Structure 1
C-alpha cells in the first residue's frame, strides 16, 4: 500500500512562498501616494512665501487697530491680527525642517507684484476708509490664502509632508473663520449704492495686481504652471 500520511491542517504546506505571507506596505484602507507634487525645494519656497505674506497681513491689521473708528471692527481686527502672527510662526518653525538654511533667506515675497499688492492693500489709512481696508483683506487676500493653502494640502504627500499638511489644516480653520467675520463686517458697512461702488472699485484695483502676481506664491499658486507638473 502507498503512504497514507497526510499533512496536518495546522501545518503550512512545504511549498508556501514568502509572498503569500508578506505584509502590504499600506493597510487596505490606506492607499496614499508616497510622492507629492512638490519637491522639498518647492515646498520650502512656498512656505517662505506664506510666512512673508502672513507677516505682512499681521502688520497691516495691527496698524489699523489704532485708526479704525468702529469699536466692534477694531476688536475683531485685534483677534485676527494674532491669528496671522501665529500662522507666520508656524511657517517659521517649518522652514528649518525643509531646508538647511536660515529661515530668513526663504522668507521672501513671491515676486515684485505681490509687494505692490501689499502696498496697495495697506494704502488706505484715513479713519473713514474702513471699507477699503476690509475689502483688501477679506475679499482679496484671505480668499487667495484659502485657495493657495487648499491647493498645497491637496497636492502634497500625506506621508512625507504630513507636518506641512497639519499646519495648513490649523491655518485654514482660522482663514475660513476670519473670512466669514470679515464679510459680515463688510456687509454691515456697505449700506448704500455709493458704498457698493467704493468696495467694488477698490477690489478691482487690488484683484488686478494680484492677478499679475499670480497669487500668494506667484504663478502656479493654485496649479497650472510647469513647475507644478502640468
Structure 2
C-alpha cells in the first residue's frame, strides 16, 4: 500500500500540473469576489469563510475525473479489479484517494491562509477555515471517488463527476462553513460543527472506497 501511495502521489504531481491548476482556480475565485461586491471590508470579512469553502470545493472537483481514467486507459484498472477481492479493491481505492488528496487538495489547504487575506478575514477565521478545510476536504475526495468510478467508462465523464457528487458534498460545505463562522462569533460553539465535519470525513472514508470499488466492478462487467 505504501508503494501504491508513492506511485499515485508521483503520478498526481506529474499529471498536467493538477495541483497548480487547482490553486490557480482557487485564486481566481477568491480574487474575483472583491471586484464583484465592491470594497466593503466588513462584508468581505462576513462572507469570507463561505467563499473560501466554495472556492476550495470547486477546485477540489477539477481532477477527480482522472482518479481512475489513466489506469483504465493503460489496462491497470482491469488488472486491479481481477487481482483483488472486494475488500482489497476498496483498500486500493482508499489509498488512491489519499494520494489524490495529498497531491491536489492539500496545496489548496496550504494556500488558504494567504488567499483569505483577499477577503479581509481576521486571524481566528483564517485559522478556523484552514483547519476545517484540512479535515473536511478528504470527504469531498472520497465522495468524488464514487462519481469517478461510476463515470470511468464514459468517454467524457469529467462533467458527470461534478454533477453526481456536488449535491452529496452539501453537508460537508454546510458544517465546514458553520465551524468557520463559529470561530469568530462568540455565542456560537466551534467544536460541535467541527466534530460533525470530522465525522463526515471519517464516514465517507469508509463508505466512499467501498461504493467506488463496487462501481468499478460493475463497470468492468
Choose 1 or 2 for highest CA Rg.
Answer: 1
Query: What is the TM-score normalised by the length of structure 2?
Result: 0.30
- Bigger helix share: 2
